[in-house]
Structure 1
Amino acid sequence: MKIDIYNIEALASEKIKIKICELSPNSKLRISMKMELPWCTEEEYSSYGVFVSDEKGEVDLDLNSPVEGTYKVADSMGLIYSLKKSRSQGKNIAENISINEPIIMNMVFESDDEKREINLKRLFKTEDVIVKNICEKNFSGQLFYKEKSNGKTVLMLGGSDGNMSSLSLMAAPLASKGFNVLTVPYFASKGLPDKLEKVPLEYFEKIFEWIETNEITNCKEILLHGTSKGGELALLLASRYKQIKKVVVIEPHAYCFQALNGMMSGNNVSSWSYRGQSIPYIEVDNNIFFEDRKHAVENGIPFGFASTYKKSIERASNKEEARIKVENSEADILMISGKEGNIWNSYDGCLEILHNLKKSNYKYKIELLIYDKMGHPIPIPYIIPISETLSMNMMKGVFSSGGTIEGNVKGQFESWKRTIEFFMEPLSQKLKK
């Protein structure tokens, strides 16, 4: 057999193409894949597909659906996005994340009379990306950059888990495209709140000043990338600081919310503060969560937090006060959300933001990407198996972040591609209405 693989060594977020020739016509071909994440080799993931060659003795994974396997539709990425855990020592893949070593994906091709083995090398960054630890008086973080960058600097804000190392999985590939990418914590770090409560917005003023004056970044126009709770923060910052000129938010919301501590209610304060005062917020009633979880478990369906947020907003008497005034921004904004998100009701929030921006005759570019079968995945494709983040056994039931494996990977890939394009585009001046 002859095996042609496009992008056999490439960034982990990029697609591969696989075509096999010189097989016996109408014969079966089994392709299996095994993979370990380089920082957690104790956990193994596997997938497979069985294919039937055509009259020419060819199998093209972008044209041929498997007749059996871990995925169902024609797609050269199917073996990667359908990876599921096949061996485990109970290690947590969210710990000790490192981008220093690539992912090696072992592929075995088995026909009736031949067996071949090929390894894919999936990189987190190109060789010219430099990772520099930043330890300033006022903040710490990591800067990902090339010596010859495109001159654009993205400040990347993660979600409520506060896992800084997971941001490198997005920052490094983005820096590989030529951007300077700065990742910073906003809680659980020196000089910051231990929990995600009353995070001071003025902390970011120091970071903005550093970006504007540092010899590597040295730019007056700030680009923000925020995921989930980091999306809430990014929109809040953009509404208050005019130097922010582009914002990409993934699964954001339209409101500021109460500080939370895991699945239990935190103090009766906001997640955010300014000059020591809580920024107005929607109180989250966790009794809703426990009632909805009980109903879901009794009926054998997955549960999440989306209904908790939706009902808490409906009950709130201070919605306008707690609403993020995105219309005060002077930034181009790209919002990305899945219709089936189950962490919170981001889809509803995005529609509300869009409605308010149109109503206020917003003068800058606004774009909303919606994906029908996407839930609340990480914003970059083909790195962490979706089976790991889609659902898990919890509290005598199944917790789900929402959507399907196929829907999530489609949203991941298309929105990540659009994110890079969006950041590359020239800043819009005030749009004429």
Structure 2
Amino acid sequence: MKIHIHPMIALIDEEIDIKITELIPGGKVKITASMHFPWAASETYESFAWFTADVDGQVDLSKQKPNTGTYDYIDNMGLIASLKKVSSKGENIADNLSIDNSMFIDIVCEYGEEKKCVRLERMFKLPEVKRQQINKEFKGELFYTEKSLKKTIILLGGSDGSRNGLSFLAGPLASRGFNVLVVGYFNEEGLPEKLEEIPLEYFENVFSWIKENPLTYANDIYIHGTSKGGELALLLASKYPAISKVAVSAPHAYCFQALNGLMSGRNVSSWSYKGKSLPFIPVDNNIFYHHQRDCLERNIPFGFTSTYKKSVEKAKNKEEARIKIENAHADLLLIAGHKDNVWNTYDACLEIMDILRKENYKYTYTLLDYKNLGHSLPVPYVIPLSETLNVQMGTGSFTCGGTLKGNSNGQLDSWKKTLEFFIS
């Protein structure tokens, strides 16, 4: 038995090819993958698959479906995508996130009495990527290399307000030559505590800094936003013509009520402009409680999509709360999953595309939609999909939606096209 894996060392978002040769045709091979995060060593994840060697005595994961295993479709990255937690000492993998150290994955092949192991190194960033904290003008961090493409991408995160998770996007992007500016806008020292009435003018400081900093100086500003950050990215593009490219993963077409307002009852927008709360769609908690109770009774995972969908449908101020994206001066890339279970992003993206067509929008606009994609990270192979497909919450479980195959394929394809979008 001979194991062929390429590349052995790669960025976290890169695909690998796995092939086993010098087998007897019809022979059975078990391949196991095992890994842990460098910041949470006690949490172990594993996956496995059994294969039958072909007439040439080979197993090629890019061409063969497993006989059985943790995934059941043809995919050279199936073992990575289907990693599941198998042992734990209670560490929270969302704490102490770091891209400074590589992640290692052990691939073990068992064939009869023969057993071989190969270790893969998965880098979150290349060694030449540098980092610079910004605390005076705004809260942010710049990821860059000495030989950059002279293109700067602002990264905007979602409803948790954490900048740490955005480093998983920043590392691979900066490793490909982009200047990447991760910007915090709430839930850290010196910023609003809650995601409510965030002033859009705050980002004017960010735009000025980019244009004045010798590392990032450029006439064009790019933005990538995810989820609630996608809502923000589209809103900024509609207000500021300096933004020339916007890629959004799981965005929405409307401004919504402040997230903390959903529980506290504070009836304000997530965003403000010129000292006023922007028009917003109120979110009806009763819709969610009814949906959650129904899911618990049927023993199926719950989500928030029906809450947002019905809240938009019943709103009497839809046009007022709609993000006027037709006023933007930017090329747009929208990414949506039909099975998103956080909010109805696919409906929203269809609405955005329809408006752009009707308004004869003169810049490019593209929708990437995937039938079995849920509400997942925009970058593939970072956090195991098992962590988001179903999460225990109280007596029930929450799901971001989609299938293992749908999320894995959608993540990879949309990420590749996002890179192409920003490079072009």
Q: C-alpha distance in 2, partners of 1:263/1:337?
A: 24
Q: C-alpha distance in 1, partners of 2:142/2:393?
A: 36
Alpha-carbon deviations, 1:399-426, whole Å to 9, x = none?
111100110011100000000000011x
Alpha-carbon deviations, 1:321-361, whole Å to 9, x = none?
00000000000000000001010111111011111111111
- 2:414 equivalent to 1:386: no
Where does structure 1 lack aligned partners over 5 or more consecutive residues? 426-433
- 2:117 equivalent to 1:117: yes
Q: C-alpha distance in 2, partners of 1:174/1:266?
A: 39
Which amino acid is the alignment partner of residue 351 of structure 1? L
Q: Give 1:188 shift.
A: 1.5
* Contact persistence 1:265–1:284 (CA under 8 A): no
Corresponding position of 1:375: 374
Could you tell which deviates more after superposition, 372-381 or 2-11? 2-11
After TM superposition, list the pairs within 5 Å mapping 1:202-281 onto structure 2: 202-261=201-260, 264-281=263-280
Change (3 A) 1:86 1:305: same
Q: C-alpha distance in 2, partners of 1:239/1:7?
A: 42
* Contact persistence 1:259–1:265 (CA under 8 A): no
CA RMSD of aligned residues (A): 1.1
Q: C-alpha distance in 1, partners of 2:10/2:369?
A: 28
SS at match of 2:267: strand
Q: C-alpha distance in 1, partners of 2:353/2:57?
A: 51
Corresponding position of 2:58: 58
Alpha-carbon deviations, 1:196-231, whole Å to 9, x = none?
000000000001000011010011211000000000
Which amino acid is the alignment partner of residue 339 of structure 2? E
Q: C-alpha distance in 2, partners of 1:275/1:93?
A: 39
Q: C-alpha distance in 2, partners of 1:300/1:191?
A: 43
Corresponding position of 1:311: 310
Which amino acid is the alignment partner of residue 61 of structure 2? L
Corresponding position of 2:43: 43
Which amino acid is the alignment partner of residue 79 of structure 2? L
Corresponding position of 2:150: 151
Corresponding position of 2:14: 14
Q: C-alpha distance in 2, partners of 1:22/1:197?
A: 61
* Contact persistence 2:283–2:311 (CA under 8 A): yes
Q: C-alpha distance in 2, partners of 1:241/1:64?
A: 49
Q: C-alpha distance in 1, partners of 2:80/2:199?
A: 41
Moved over 3 A (4+): none
Alpha-carbon deviations, 1:357-403, whole Å to 9, x = none?
11111010000000000010011101100000111121322211110
Q: Give 1:42 shift.
A: 1.4
Q: C-alpha distance in 1, partners of 2:262/2:168?
A: 25
SS at match of 1:296: helix
Q: C-alpha distance in 1, partners of 2:135/2:194?
A: 21
Corresponding position of 2:130: 130
Normalising by structure 2, report the TM-score. Answer: 0.98
Change (3 A) 1:355 1:8: same
Q: Give 1:266 shift.
A: 4.8
Could you tell which deviates more after superposition, 261-270 or 206-215? 261-270
Which amino acid is the alignment partner of residue 96 of structure 2? N
Q: Give 1:41 shift.
A: 0.9
* Contact persistence 1:133–1:141 (CA under 8 A): yes
* Contact persistence 1:265–1:286 (CA under 8 A): no
SS at match of 1:268: coil
* Contact persistence 1:260–1:266 (CA under 8 A): no
Which amino acid is the alignment partner of residue 370 of structure 2? Y
Q: Give 1:300 shift.
A: 1.8
Q: Give 1:250 shift.
A: 0.5
* Contact persistence 1:260–1:267 (CA under 8 A): no
Q: Give 1:122 shift.
A: 0.4
Q: C-alpha distance in 1, partners of 2:139/2:396?
A: 39
Q: Give 1:301 shift.
A: 1.9
Corresponding position of 1:33: 33
Q: C-alpha distance in 2, partners of 1:66/1:74?
A: 7
Normalising by structure 1, report the TM-score. Answer: 0.96
Q: C-alpha distance in 2, partners of 1:393/1:72?
A: 24
